[in-house]
Amino acid sequence: MARALKPVDVVTIGVGLTGSLAALELAKQGLKVVGLERGAPRDTVPDFQSPAIHDELRFSIRKGMMQDNVKEAVTFRNSSDQTALPIRRWESFLPGTGLGGSFVHWNGQCFRFQVADLIYKTHILQRYGKKFLEACGPELTIQDWGVTYDELEPHYDRFEYLCGVSGKAGNIKGQIEPGGNPFEAPRSREYLCRR
């Protein structure tokens, strides 16, 4: 029978990267937050303790931190004329599970989108025209994200400084910086850490 729990202000569905950061910000504002996450609880000790965490068979080969595809399968096909089959071994993408989600085994690569990536439909329209998009047929469902690079930039900047992302800026406020990637979208400032 369903048991009614005491109401809280916010419930996050999932406590991965997004859920935990949102919960932190909301809790800082004084809201009571409960996070719901599948899987067993886990903590730095003992779950990430050395040497058990270096178990290659369990984590690297058997993907011990990933979604259990015996319980929750994902089907995949390479083209629309195939029948999609369940993925038995994770290879090309690794859906996380448990507290921390995929952020627990994130590679730490932290690239920004280009300006055009966030307005891709508009970008293609401006560059190649309406006929080009129509010629691709109804299967092309390309859309703009609804948020622009300039709107996101302060948030990119905040996250990179929070995580200590390292690199060399190639474009600070439109000024090309020697040593960095000249094609990147403009940043408001240099990286916190130099690579």
Partner 1 sequence: MSPEQQDGYLKSLEAGGKDLGGVPSDVFFAHLWQSTVEGFFSDPVYGGNRDMVAWQMINFPGAYASYYDLVDQHGIKIDRRPMSLAEDIHGHVHMNPSIPARSP
Site residues, partner 1 (CB under 8 A): 39-40, 42, 50-52, 54-58, 61-66, 68, 97-98
Q: Residues 60, 122: contact at Cβ < 8 Å? A: no
Rank residues 35 and 64 by Cβ distance to partner 1 and give the closer one.
64
Give the nearest distance from C-beta 71 to partner 1 in angstroms.
9
Rank residues 5 and 40 by Cβ distance to partner 1 and give the closer one.
40
Rank residues 2 and 40 by Cβ distance to partner 1 and give the closer one.
40
Residue 67 sits at φ, ψ, to 5 deg, of -50, 135
Give the nearest distance from C-beta 98 to partner 1 in angstroms.
5
Rank residues 24 and 74 by Cβ distance to partner 1 and give the closer one.
74
Give the nearest distance from C-beta 136 to partner 1 in angstroms.
38
